[in-house]
Structure 1
Amino acid sequence: MEPTVLPTQRLVLRPWAPEDTDAVHLACQDPDIQRWTTVPAPYEREHARGWTGEISPAGWRQDTEYSFAVCRADSGILVGAVGLHVRGPAAYEVGYWAAKEHRGRGHTTEAVTAVSRWAFTELGAGRVEWRAEVGNAGSRAVAEKAGFRVEGVLRAALPVRGTWRDCWVGGLLPADLGLESRLPYLSAPDRGPDIGAGA
């Protein structure tokens, strides 16, 4: 996929560039980013250089992940990151972080909504999924504000630094953003509680 730029009302979402290395390194010193995401901990400058110069561009070239630097449109200042991970044909998972000094302003929700809309309209996604370790209240708040419906808890579904963690999982459908789905969606009928075969 050719790297793309997504403008929003207040932001510009653009592919990462080597010039972002220092800003990424600084943002990822935040203990909360290291605690709740899968970035290396401790986070060294070499990690930031590898991300901006090699890993993120390779994701676009290989169609494995579409990663965006989230910047303020008025100043170009980096406020966060949003990535769309390719999980299979028309299957995508969103992930994100916000720089500590820019949290609480709705930037991440705005960016996640823009990336999800792009996934539906340009990539033909039938669903965008969100996962976060149980307890990551900030990530959950962003997901819910962006329209994701939290659907449950998956046990041992999130690998984090050599351990399996339980995670919340949520989904966003095109209709949740007022968009048409490329394929019809036939939801399961409400059958009430399942009844076992025997007593």
Structure 2
Amino acid sequence: MEPVTLTTERLVLRPVGPEDTDAVYEAAQDPDIQRWTTVPSPYLREHAEGFVGGLAPGGWADDTMFTFGVFLPSGDLVGVLSQTMRGPGVAEVGFWAAKEHRGRGYLTEAVLAACRWAFLRLSVDRVEWRAEVGNAASLAVARRAGFTLEGTSRAGILNQGVRRDCWTASLLPSDLGLPSKTPYLPAPDRNRSAPPDVR
């Protein structure tokens, strides 16, 4: 897919490129980004170069991962957001914010814009979110964006060579008032809590 640029009331979401190497490298020095995301730690300049020059554009080229740099109109990097295709009609959103831009609702705004785009342009019917248990900042963004918390997956994330439990949540087109590409038949509430005991 050809890379696209999205705009919101306060932000510009555009593909990252070599011109963003310094900003990505500097932002990713934050210990919280290295602790709670799967970026390499320590984060070297060569990691930033590989990300903006290889991984991010490669995902657009082969339709597997759609990465946006989240910028203010001034050009300052607010963060990075990716939609990774996990299966037919299913994407997973991941994101981080530069330390100096946290707490202003920027990532919630960016996540909503990227999810609307995925529902309308990628034929996605479900966007998943996962974060390691304890990542309260990411959970707050997901909740503000309207994701429904679905539970905790044991050993659901591999980070720094260690399997860790993660929270999981989802956003559907109907949560944003959008139509689904395929029909959805929710289970009755009485069947959602647990599968039957089969012996």
What range describes the TM-score normalised by the shorter chain of this pair?
Answer: over 0.9
SS in 1 for 2:127: strand
Q: Which amino acid aligns with 2:49?
A: R
- Residue 77 of structure 2 corresponds to 78
Q: 1:197 to 1:129 in 2, by over 3 A?
A: closer
Q: CA deviation at 1:197?
A: 5.1
Q: 1:29 to 1:196 in 2, by over 3 A?
A: same
- Residue 132 of structure 2 corresponds to 133
For residues 35-184 of structure 1, what are the structure 2 equivalents within 5 Å? 35-73=35-73, 75-184=74-183
Whether 1:3 and 2:3 are equivalent positions in the alignment is yes
Q: Which amino acid aligns with 1:162?
A: G
- Residue 24 of structure 2 corresponds to 24
Per-residue Cα deviation, 1:63-109 (whole angstroms, up to 9, x for no partner): 11000000012x01111010001111111000000000000000000
- Contiguous gaps of at least 5 residues in structure 1: none
Q: Which amino acid aligns with 1:21?
A: T
Q: CA deviation at 1:38?
A: 0.4
SS in 1 for 2:16: coil
- Contiguous gaps of at least 5 residues in structure 2: none
SS in 1 for 2:104: coil
SS in 1 for 2:80: strand
Q: CA deviation at 1:130?
A: 0.1
Q: Which amino acid aligns with 2:197?
A: G
Partners of 1:111 and 1:165 in 2: CA distance: 26
Partners of 1:56 and 1:135 in 2: CA distance: 27
SS in 1 for 2:35: helix
SS in 1 for 2:157: strand
Structure 1 stretches of at least 4 aligned residues deviating more than 4 Å after TM superposition: 192-195
Q: Which amino acid aligns with 1:6?
A: L
Partners of 2:182 and 2:89 in 1: CA distance: 11
Q: Which amino acid aligns with 2:127?
A: V
Partners of 2:71 and 2:38 in 1: CA distance: 21
Q: Which amino acid aligns with 1:184?
A: P
Partners of 1:146 and 1:13 in 2: CA distance: 16
Per-residue Cα deviation, 1:15-68 (whole angstroms, up to 9, x for no partner): 011000000000000000000000000001111011111111011001110000
Q: Which amino acid aligns with 1:64?
A: T
Q: CA deviation at 1:133?
A: 0.2
Partners of 2:65 and 2:198 in 1: CA distance: 43
- Does 183-192 or 44-53 show the bigger shift? 183-192
Q: Which amino acid aligns with 1:153?
A: T
Q: Which amino acid aligns with 2:30?
A: D
CA-atom RMSD in angstroms: 1.2
SS in 1 for 2:189: coil
